[in-house]
A and B are shown apart, each in its own frame.
Chain A
Amino acid sequence: MGELRAYAALLGGKARSLAAYRTSFAIELLSNLGSTVLDVVTVFVLYRATAMVGGFTLAESLLMTALTAAGFVLADLTVGNIDDLKRYVRAGTLDTVLIRPLRVLPQLICMDLPLRKLLRLAFGVFVYVAALVANHVHWTPARLALAVVAPIAAAVFFGAIFVLTASLAFWWVESGEVGAAFTYGGRDFTSYPITVYSDWFRGVFAYALGFGLVSYQPALALLGRTDPLGLPAWSGYAAPLVCVPAVAVAALIWRIGIRRYRSTGS
Chain B
Amino acid sequence: MGGIDASVLTISPGRPLRLSITTFGALAWSGFRRYATYRQATIAGSFTNIVFGFLRCYVLLAVAHGATGGRPGGYDGAQLATFVWVGQGLLTVVGIWGPPDLSDRIRTGDVASDLLRPVPPVTAYLAADLGRFGHAVLTRLVGPVIVGAIFFTLAAPTRWQTIPLFVISTLLAAVGSFGCRFLINATAYWLHDARGPLVLWTLGSGVLCGLYFPLRLLPEWLAVTLWVATPFPGLLQTPLDTLVERDPPVQQAGLVVIQAIWAVALLALAGTVQRRAERKLVVQGG
Contact = CB atoms under 8 A, between A and B. Distances in A.
A48 B67 CA distance: 9
Contacts of B62: 53-54, 192, 195-196
Interface stretch (B119-127, B153-161, B194-202, B256-264): B194-202
Q: Is the interface of B mostly helix, strand, loop or mixed?
A: helix
Contacts of A50: 63-68, 72
A46 interface: yes
Interface string B55-88: 1101111111111100011000000000000000
B26 to A, nearest CB: 27
Contacts of A42: 207, 212-213
Interface residues of B, number: 39
A49 B41 contact: no
Interface in B173-220: 193, 195-196, 199-200, 202-203, 206-207, 212-213, 217-219
Interface residues of A, number: 37
B35 interface: no
B44 A49 contact: no
Nearest to A26: B196
A24 B196 contact: yes
Contacts of A189: 55
A38 B51 contact: no
B52 A198 contact: no
Nearest to B219: A48
A174 B218 contact: no
A256 interface: no
Contacts of B213: 42, 45-46
Interface of A: 23-24, 27-28, 31, 34-35, 38, 41-42, 45-46, 48-54, 172, 174-178, 180-182, 185, 188-189, 192, 195-198, 201
